[in-house]
Amino acid sequence: MNIFSMDEWESTPSLLELIQSTYKICHFAWYRKPEGRETLLASLNTDLNSMSQVTYNEVILLVATAVAFTIFRKILTKCLLTPMAKWLKLDENNVVKFPESGWKFMIHGGLWLYTFYILMLSGRHQFFHRPSTVWDGWSMDMEIQRDIYVIYVLEGAYYLHGLYALFFYDLRRKDRQVMVAHHVICVFLLWLSYVQRALTRLYYYPFKAIYATSGILLDTSNMAVLGSCSVFMILMLYVIFIMDLYWFGIITAILYKSLRGTLKNGVDDIREEDVAYQEVKKGN
At 3-22, the pLDDT tens digits run 555 567 777 777 788 788 87
**Average per-residue pLDDT in the chain?**
72
What's the structural domain count of the chain?
A: 1
The per-residue pLDDT for 69 is: 93
The per-residue pLDDT for 197 is: 45
- Read off the pLDDT of residues 20-68 as tens digits, 9 standing for 90 and up: 887 777 777 666 655 655 566 666 666 666 665 678 888 899 999 999 9
- Among the residue ranges 38-52, 120-134, 135-149, the one predicted with the least confidence is 38-52
Does the structure show a pLDDT above 80 at 86? yes
In-domain check, residue 278: no
In-domain check, residue 267: no
- Read off the pLDDT of residues 158-183 as tens digits, 9 standing for 90 and up: 888 888 887 777 666 666 666 767 66
In-domain check, residue 263: no
**Confidence class of residue 259 from pLDDT cuts 50, 70 and 90?**
low
- Read off the pLDDT of residues 190-224 as tens digits, 9 standing for 90 and up: 665 554 444 444 445 555 666 776 666 666 655 55
In-domain check, residue 269: no
In-domain check, residue 40: yes
Secondary structure (H, E, C), the chain: CCCCCHHHCCCCCCHHHHHHHHHHHHHHHHHCCCCCCCCHHHHHHHHHHCCCCCCHHHHHHHHHHHHHHHHHHHHHHHHHHHHHHHHCCCCHHHHHHHHHHHHHHHHHHHHHHHHHHHHHHCCCCCCCCCHHHHHCCCCCCCCCCHHHHHHHHHHHHHHHHHHHHHHHCCCCECCHHHHHHHHHHHHHHHHHHHHCCCCCCCCHHHHHHHHHCCHHHHHCCCHHHCCHHHHHHHHHHHHHHHHHHHHHHHHHHHHHHHHHCCCHHHCCCCCECCCHHHHHHHHC
Does the structure show a pLDDT above 60 at 111? yes
Does the structure show a pLDDT above 50 at 231? yes
The per-residue pLDDT for 267 is: 47
Between 76 and 141, the higher pLDDT residue? 76
Of all residues in the chain, the percent with pLDDT exceeding 90 is 8
In-domain check, residue 268: no
The per-residue pLDDT for 264 is: 59
In-domain check, residue 276: no
In-domain check, residue 246: no
State the residue range of the domain holding 70.
Answer: 6-233
Provide the whole-model pTM: 0.63
Does the structure show a pLDDT above 80 at 276? no
